[in-house]
Each structure stands twice: as structure tokens, then as C-alpha cells.
Amino acid sequence: MTGAAAAGAGARRVAILGGGPAGLAAAQAALAAGAEVTLLDEGGRLGGQYWRHHEQLTDRRLQHGWARFERLKGVLDRAEVHTGASVWSAEASDGVVRLRAVVGPADATSRTALEIEADAVVVATGAHDLALPVPGWTLPGVTTAGAAQALAKRDGVTVGRRTVVSGAGPFLLPVAQSLAIAGSEVVGVHEASRIGGLAAGWLPRPWQLAGKAGELVEYVGALARHRIPYRIGSGVVRVLGTDRVEGVVIAALDADWRPVPGSEREVACDSVALGHGFTPRLEVAIALGAAIEGDRRGRFVVVDDTQRTSVSGVYAAGEITGIGGADAALAEGAVAGFMAAGGSLDDDRMRGPLAVRRRMGAFAARLERAHGIRPGWTSWLADDTVICRCENVTRRTIADRADAPLRAMKLATRAGLGACQGRTCGRAVEAIVAEAGGSPEGFDRRPVLAPVRLGEVAALGRGSTVVDTEPARCDDAGTTVAAVDVQ
Amino acid sequence: MIRITVDAEPLEGRDGQTIAGVLIGAGRTAWRSAQTGDRGVFCGIGVCHDCLVTVNGVEGVRACQREAVDGDRVEREVRA
Ligand SMILES: Cc1cc2nc3c(=O)[nH]c(=O)nc-3n(C[C@H](O)[C@H](O)[C@H](O)COP(=O)(O)OP(=O)(O)OC[C@H]3O[C@@H](n4cnc5c(N)ncnc54)[C@H](O)[C@@H]3O)c2cc1C
């Protein structure tokens, strides 16, 4: 156990859940503060969504801030690191945090059990795409924008050869660039927000884009180079095809994202990437008892100045505390890790992260104002549009039961009760229920935090074996030190 | 280079690719039968469960999360 060896006896044990920008920054800072650190991530490699990669398959042009990633990995030889570790249970009581995971190839039957006990935990589980339903969106060839990004980065493939990108937010830009580099022609990028929204959002204060600015400028350059049109106030309102995607219907969208009548036009394509925002992965934080705040436009983990949640010893950072992107995640992670390890906000080493966190917080608010989902989107749905992809539940079925309590509605329709546990459709179902006069909310709590086989749970229940697997090692040490690295 | 079979048909992929990566690289976009038609990758990060396949006899494996191993036998799943 390298972690135990590196920290002094009696050091605070800090567990970090998530190896994306927030979790990695937390690990670095917690180590700097003298803690004994254990980091877990279900992915086969560290990096999270932002630094998703494969050593042989990832085109270097798709990577950003790589030197930072290598520096963060570089200090992990002093920590205990478990990749391929899906945390399926988490609890905090009497000042002790317990995480239970299965470690091994995804969904294999032979995974080993791992139980981690710590004095504090940093939850940095990130987010997944929020793709709003569109008629025809279950056709093969339709993916989320994040899937297009992940497939291009991790596997070097694209689902089609002619792709339409549609949704909202600056994330659509790197997705278009990745598709183009990985080999698909991008017919167009359709941003639902109008110029008014963008102007009220980030356009007048581009300096708030901070570290992101360079990246965004690069993406805009890439769009121009690949001759990819970027159209605001428009979006895919229907996907066409019988067995797979053959085209889309694009419409102009008004300020509330309602399709403008008469503006529809058909565009031929074989693939569609949809991304209307992100949904935080809250289940671990909720299982630990952390308070969640917000409404159906977005719910996040509540944290104080030190990134502590409502539960003592439980800290949170990154997308689960608000969608702010990788720079915000890095800064929040550094603060969370440092404080979880018993550090102080007055420490000089906190100055950089605190400044970035402040700046990026303002940026996140502006992003939400500019690109946040508007209620008119439901008017592009048809009655028979599938909303819950797992259980094939249509909009009409959900709307018909909207007056029942959410639990009863779910049991009657099966919406949100399929394999993904409502992760994919939750926000859309809530919007449809609210529109039909019901009171939504209640899609965040999940009894099992990560997919785990029943046999595995049963085995763990019988005397939960604690298995120490050999931790992954990262030997490439970092070089230069940026202002926000906490060393 | 790795070789896997999908419903007994041989496919070649690049070392390190996920099963979904190999399938898509071979030009496939869908490999699971659902009530409303075939499905393939949707979320790409293990959240949506649309891309499930049976691997070496084990059901319910997320193709986008599982790294393909030379010789893997992949089978299509039919689910409601
Ligand atoms: C598919 C996708 C692709 C994206 N690509 C980009 C991009 O290219 N550029 C960009 O600027 N932004 C991208 N984003 C936005 C992204 O959310 C942020 O840039 C950034 O990665 C957020 O950092 P984070 O540390 O908060 O979370 P993440 O990077 O999401 O990291 C969270 C980590 O927690 C792990 N995890 C979650 N739950 C568990 C569990 N129960 N057990 C074990 N491990 C768990 C996950 O495997 C993941 O590695 C992407 C988002 C998505 C969903």
C-alpha cells in the first residue's frame, strides 16, 4: 500500500472518488497537505471525461492541457490508485467514510471486492450528457455529443460519415472538431440559444472564459478550417430514417426553444450528436447524505467555501457542484482535497485555486444564462415520441399519468425504471410531468450507485471481503508548476 | 490488431479499442434489438445501457466500457 507508506503515521486518510480533473486536483492537493490518499475511478484510465484517452488510439490534436494532466498523474505514485473500480455503495457515519467497489473489466463476473475506509472523502463523480428527446432519437446513428467525443478520443472512430451536431453550449464546438478530425464530415453545428441569450451570457465578458478562451478560439478556428457552419437559434427537431439515421429536420428555435413554424428544412446525414447540457452524477453524494439544492432546471450538491457538503467529512468538487467545465473542476478539486486533508483556506497554496474558482463560478452562471434549457423544447415532441429509452415509454403515456405522485407514475408507466435508472430520461420526464400540471422531481436517488451484478452484491453481503488489489502506478513526474498546482 | 467474433462473424479491431469501438470501426451502428428497433451506442460513457452485449457468455456487458480482448465472443442481445 504505497499511500500508507508515503504519508506519516496518523496522517488523515482521504478517499477520492473520481479521477477526472476535479478528483485528480483533489488528490494532488490532499497529498500536498500530508494526507494518505486513495483514489478510485471506474474507468480503465485516469482523466475523466476531459482527459479521456488511450495511449495508442487518441489523436493528440484532441487533447488539451495535457501537461497539466501529466503533472497531476505524476504525484500519484504517492497515492493508492484503483482504476476499473466501480463504487456501488457509500456511507458516512461516526466520522468514518466507507466506499465499496468492485474492481476489474467492465461488467465482468470475476471482479474483486474492495472496501475503502477513510476519515474524509472528496466526491468528484462528474456529469453525463443531457440530450433532450427528439422524435426519431432512438434510431441507430443518434448519439449524445459526449459519446461522439468519447468515441473519437478513446477509440478513434465516428459513428457515421456525415454528422449533424445539435444542442446548446460551448461543448458542441470541441465535439464538432473531434468528429472532423476523426473522419466525419460535420454538416452543421446547431446551437439552440439565440444571439440575445449569448450576448446576455458570455459574449460581453469574454475574459471570463479565462483558461477556456484559448481553447474556444482554437475550436472556432477549427470550424472555419473544416468549413463547418455554426448556426445559433436552431436545432434538430426530428430525426428521419427507418432502420437508421437518414437525415434530420432542422428548425429555427425561438427564445424559448420553440420551433418556429415554417422554418423546417431537411438535411441528409447518417449520424446525429445531441447535447443540450450536462446532468451531474449525484448518486454517490446523495447516498452519503449530502444536501442537494436546485429545481428541475438543475440540481447540484451544496458546498460551502471549503467545498464541504452538509455532511462532516464529505467534500464535493467539479461538475456535481455546478456545471463549470474542466478549469472550475480543477480549482474546486484542489480546494476540496486540501481541506479534506485538514488544510486551511489561508494557506498560500490555496490562493491560485481560490482565484480560479471565483472567476469560473461567474463563468458558470453566465453559461447557464446563455445556454440553459428553455421550456419550449417540449413542443418539438410528438405524442408517440419515446422519452424513456430503456422502457420505450412515450410522451403521451407519461403526460396521461402526470397527476399521479411521481413514484406511482413511474410504477404505472415504467418511465425511469429501466437499466439506466432514469439517468437518461429523468430531466425530460420531469419537464413533461410539470408541463402536464403534475409535480415532478425525484429522479436523483438510486439504490445502487454503479452497475454491479447481483451475484457480486450477494457475495459482498456475506462477510464483505476486503481485497487489496495492486494499485496502478504512474511514474512520469511533472515538470513545470502552474499557479494552481498545489504542491 | 485484435480479432473478435460478433454472432460468429469475425471482426478486426485496433489494440485497446472498446467492443463498441471495434463494432463501429467495422461499420456497425446497432447491435441490440429493442422493442422500438435496434440500438447501439448512445451515451458512450457507460450510463445509458443501450449498447449491452453478451461477451463470452456473460450477458449485459456495456460495449462502450469493455475493452475488447483478442478472441472475445460477442453476441447480440434481444431485450424489450
Ligand atoms: C462524455 C463527455 C465528454 C466530455 N468531453 C469534454 C471535452 O472533451 N472537453 C471539455 O472541455 N469538456 C468535456 N466534458 C465536460 C466535462 O464534464 C468537464 O470538462 C470535466 O471533465 C469535468 O470534470 P469532473 O472532474 O467534474 O468530472 P469527470 O471528468 O466527469 O470525472 C468524473 C469521474 O468519476 C468517475 N465516477 C463517477 N461515478 C463513479 C462511481 N460510482 N464509481 C467509480 N468512478 C465513478 C467517472 O468514471 C469519471 O472518470 C465532457 C463531458 C462528458 C459527459
Do A471 and A426 reside in the same domain of the chain?
Answer: no
Report whether A307 contacts A335 (CB < 8 A): yes
Q: What is the pLDDT at residue A199? A: 63
Domains of chain B, with CATH numbers?
Answer: 2-78 (3.10.20.440)
DSSP 8-state class, residue A380: G
| Distance set, CA A139 to CA A144, A159, A245, A380, B34 (Å) | 12, 12, 6, 17, 11
All three cell numbers of A459: 457475495
Alpha-carbon torsion A291, A442, A371, A155, what sign? positive
Residue A123: domain span: 13-128+279-343
Distance A382 CA to ligand 1 centre (A): 32
Report yes or no on whether pTM surpasses 0.90.
yes
Do A137 and A271 reside in the same domain of the chain?
Answer: yes
The CA distance from A400 to the nearest CA of chain B, in Å, is 21
Distance A154 CA to ligand 1 centre (A): 13
Rounded mean pLDDT, B57-78: 96
Do A318 and A411 reside in the same domain of the chain?
Answer: no
Q: Decide if A8 is inside a domain.
A: no
Do A286 and A270 reside in the same domain of the chain?
Answer: no
A25 lines ligand 1 (CB under 6 A): no
* Structure confidence at residue B8 as a pLDDT band (50, 70, 90): very high
Task: Give the domain CATH number at A321.
Answer: 3.50.50.60
Do A444 and A476 reside in the same domain of the chain?
Answer: no
| Cβ–Cβ below 8 Å for A128 and B62 | no
| Residues in chain B closer than 8 A to A161 (CB atoms) | none
Q: Decide if A4 is inside a domain.
A: no
**Chain position carrying cell 479499442:** B17
Do A157 and A173 reside in the same domain of the chain?
Answer: yes
Q: Least CA distance to B19: which residue of chain A?
A: A155
Q: Decide if A308 is inside a domain.
A: yes
Do A121 and A189 reside in the same domain of the chain?
Answer: no
Q: Decide if A350 is inside a domain.
A: no
Q: Decide if A358 is inside a domain.
A: no
List residues bridging with B77 in a β-sheet. B32
Q: What is the pLDDT at residue A208? A: 53
Ordered per-residue pLDDT tens for chain A, 487 residues: 444 445 667 799 999 999 999 999 999 999 999 999 999 999 999 999 999 999 999 999 999 999 999 999 999 999 999 999 999 999 999 999 999 999 999 999 989 999 999 999 999 999 999 999 999 999 999 999 999 999 999 999 999 999 999 999 889 999 999 999 999 999 999 999 887 666 666 555 555 555 556 677 778 788 888 889 888 899 999 999 999 999 999 999 999 999 999 999 999 999 999 999 999 999 999 999 999 998 877 899 999 999 999 999 999 999 999 998 999 999 999 999 999 999 999 999 999 999 999 988 887 887 788 888 999 999 999 999 999 999 999 999 999 999 888 888 899 999 999 999 999 999 999 999 999 888 776 677 776 787 777 666 666 554 333 332 222 222 222 222 233 577 6
d(CA A122, CA A468): 21
> How many residues would you count in chain B?
80
Q: Decide if A238 is inside a domain.
A: yes
Nearest Cα to A183, choosing from A249, A270, A261? Answer: A270
Give me the interface pTM, i.e. the ipTM: 0.97
DSSP 8-state class, residue A442: -
Nearest Cα to B38, choosing from B29, B47, B27, B25? Answer: B29
Nearest Cα to B31, choosing from B15, B1, B2, B9? Answer: B9
Q: What is the pLDDT at residue A211? A: 56
A49, A151, A419 member nearest B24 (Cβ): A151
Q: With an 8 Å Cβ cutoff, is B70 touching chain A?
A: no
Helical packing angle, A21-32 and A66-74, nearest 10°: 40
Q: What is the pLDDT at residue A464? A: 37
Q: Decide if A102 is inside a domain.
A: yes
Do A317 and A219 reside in the same domain of the chain?
Answer: no
| Cβ–Cβ below 8 Å for A243 and B38 | yes
DSSP for A90-114?
EEEETTEEEEEEEESSTT-S-PEEE
d(CA A146, CA A171): 9
| Amino acid letter, residue A455 | G
d(CA A200, CA A222): 25
**In what helix (H) or strand (E) does residue A38 lie, and over which residues does it extend?**
strand A36-40
| Residues in chain A closer than 8 A to B24 (CB atoms) | 151, 155, 157-159
Q: Decide if A195 is inside a domain.
A: yes
Nearest CA to ligand 1 atom 4: A49
Q: What is the pLDDT at residue B40? A: 97
Q: What is the pLDDT at residue A130? A: 97
Report whether A20 contacts A126 (CB < 8 A): yes
Q: Least CA distance to A149: which residue of chain B?
A: B44
Counting one residue from A and one from B, how many pairs have CB atoms under 8 Å apart?
A: 134
Q: What is the pLDDT at residue A458? A: 61
Do A19 and A107 reside in the same domain of the chain?
Answer: yes
Do A135 and A258 reside in the same domain of the chain?
Answer: yes
Q: What is the pLDDT at residue A349? A: 97
How many Cβ atoms from other residues are within 10 Å of residue A475's Cβ? 8
Do A272 and A283 reside in the same domain of the chain?
Answer: no
Do A184 and A239 reside in the same domain of the chain?
Answer: yes
A148 lines ligand 1 (CB under 6 A): no
A322 lines ligand 1 (CB under 6 A): no
- Ligand 1 atom nearest to A283, measured from its CA: 41
Looking at the structure of chain A, the number of domains it has is: 4
A212 lines ligand 1 (CB under 6 A): no
Q: With an 8 Å Cβ cutoff, is B42 touching chain A?
A: yes
Q: What is the pLDDT at residue A3? A: 46
d(CA A402, CA A407): 11
